[in-house]
Structure 1
């Protein structure tokens, strides 16, 4: 039971670096969000998108149909790891945190169920693998049920494990030794214990993903995915941060033109775009495709990840969700900062802690500015770029599933 509960924790993690500040660790908690804002495409794969455009696409249904195309649900990609004694023990210890405020419980809950299947990186890797096909592969290397290579399936597992390990690592809390004196000992013990579980569980999943990646015996692929892990770590150093490492917009330069797009893109290419892009590139490399096709795979993954993140950002602002505090560098806010830097007066309250920010007031200011509209355009732009890449591949169920996912990302 406990292993079955924890195994869904793995489905979204990237590696993080723990920053020392004063005498404490400084990390970033999980950002749990919901999908928003339907958008439409013109003149791009019109035949494939006709149904998706004319009907409200259900995200979970889209993902379920996509899973059928590759032959099995993504949630079972690494079941053999997640049923291990180590993870069972972690799940047992996790029970001790029930009733505490530790964000690791929130991380687990959001991964297990948040109303949507959002752990889709591995599924996207499998779909693009099937859409592209493979060249000169020996029959023994092919997973005939899924229509992909065994090595491609292993890569999909690795990517999901890396993504999940990162989210778990982000569940650590920065315990400031100077402030801890005013905290009840039981609460402090819970925070310390939760940090240990998050650190060890994330490390365990990450180390397993590294072992699996090395077992593929492909030096170029190892270098590629390692560089994506490096980018995930570097994402923790982009933008100003509060005392829990949540991002805060920086002061824009005197010439603010392009400030928002540059800062937001940098943060999110490091945070997600690089991992998905290089995963798609890597799976095409395993299939023997040319450098040109591999480059197209990278572009597809990067633009899809950026469209996805922009949609998440928009959803937080439209729903007036307090989780926006964990991402004050969301696209609508960044666009508004570029338009009117005076909003930084309100956001500067978050330099010590984002919890100090009156998020409802901030979102009211955002709603009256151009940030919402510009974010919708941003979603459309990256979605169209991802859709255009699909033209490289011949028409198939896998390609159609990918186009449906792109459309579904914009659904409320």
Structure 2
């Protein structure tokens, strides 16, 4: 089943349109270069999956399915935090394009890009504090700590063919799933839900986020630069060994030679991609993503089927079907 992103969020389309307008108001900066860099990042678009999930969870957990002003603001904060992490990621990975356009550090420089990311984190923290909910502040603040933990784990394991799937999942949680899990939980806190409901939606977000990252890692190998919006094989180039490659190593040990050489030229990257796509690696990685999606869906279907959950399920299916 192919699902187009513009059909993902019909019940919160109005809120997402308003969110796009509000994001630009949230990044006002006194220095024109800082503002231009931040606005450039937001103008690259994206599917807004993270803020949409906040709005959808708000729809399910609030009385009379009325999303509160605080939840709408949380959706905006979530997207600003996500974009702050992207600009830092692009500097660390030396990625020249994202979503088909030049990255902030490519247009300006690394210093401006790092300061832009810091500025966006600071702005999101200010708006987060203004929600006046200490539990939400604690929940979302943990995400920024997790981003740093994930980057350190990734940076110290480059070209490490001994990394385990458990290590990979932990890193993927820190880098991707933590934001989705914590923002889903924070939404339920704003809905005044009990701790059991908060935990349910935290786990839903965690497993959805892990699946999202695994599928991203598959796409890095199987998709073209044009469809990715960034160079294919970026993970290989930077020495980030992901699930498809790790599963391939079990079947194709000759891949180790290319890892030892640290994919020193373009031909090595292309060869590694060919080996991986002709192995069980892609299939096993997708199976792993599907396991996490099924856990996420089970949580929602088993406990909240009396609610209007179809859009939340649609997002879950979309995450998995991006590689079809």
| TM-score interval for Structure 1 and Structure 2 normalised by the shorter chain | 0.7 to 0.9
- Where 2:192 maps in the other structure, the secondary structure is coil
1:118 pairs with 2:62: no
Q: Deviations over 1:214-241 (max 9, x none)?
A: 1122222222211121111100111455
Q: Extract unaligned runs of 5+ from structure 2.
A: 95-104, 226-230
CA contact (8 A) 1:280 1:298 kept: yes
Distance 1:154 1:381, change over 3 A: same
Distance 1:400 1:74, change over 3 A: farther
Distance 1:85 1:376, change over 3 A: closer
Q: Distance in 1 between matches of 2:8 and 2:264?
A: 35
State the match for 1:347 in structure 2.
259
After TM superposition, the score normalised by the length of structure 1 is 0.65
State the match for 2:158 in structure 1.
248
* 2:8 equivalent among 53, 62, 70: 62
Give matches, 1:95-106, under 5 Å: none
Higher Rg of the two aligned structures: 1
Give matches, 1:163-182, under 5 Å: 163-172=82-91
Q: Distance in 1 between matches of 2:224 and 2:288?
A: 20
Q: Distance in 2 between matches of 1:295 and 1:362?
A: 40
Between Structure 1 and Structure 2, how many residues are aligned? 303
Distance 1:309 1:73, change over 3 A: farther
Q: Distance in 2 between matches of 1:155 and 1:193?
A: 29
Q: Deviations over 1:29-51 (max 9, x none)?
A: xxxxxxxxxxxxxxxxxxxxxxx
* 1:401 equivalent among 291, 311, 316: 311
Q: Distance in 2 between matches of 1:331 and 1:269?
A: 13
State the match for 1:228 in structure 2.
143
Q: Deviations over 1:228-256 (max 9, x none)?
A: 21111100111455xxxxx6342328xxx
1:158 pairs with 2:77: yes
* 2:244 equivalent among 328, 332, 338: 332
- Where 1:217 maps in the other structure, the secondary structure is coil
Q: Deviations over 1:284-317 (max 9, x none)?
A: 1121111111111111111111111222222222
CA contact (8 A) 1:387 1:406 kept: yes
Q: Distance in 2 between matches of 1:358 and 1:269?
A: 29
Q: Extract unaligned runs of 5+ from structure 1.
A: 1-54, 95-103, 135-143, 176-189, 242-246, 254-258
Q: Distance in 2 between matches of 1:314 and 1:300?
A: 21
Give matches, 1:5-404, under 5 Å: 55-63=1-9, 65-68=10-13, 70=15, 72=17, 74-82=19-27, 84-86=28-30, 89-90=33-34, 92=36, 108=41, 112=44, 117-134=46-63, 147-172=66-91, 194-239=109-154, 248-252=158-162, 259=164, 261-319=165-223, 321=225, 322-326=231-235, 328-350=240-262, 358-391=268-301, 392-397=303-308, 399-404=309-314
Q: Which has the higher helix share?
A: 2
Aligned-pair distance for 1:396? Answer: 4.4
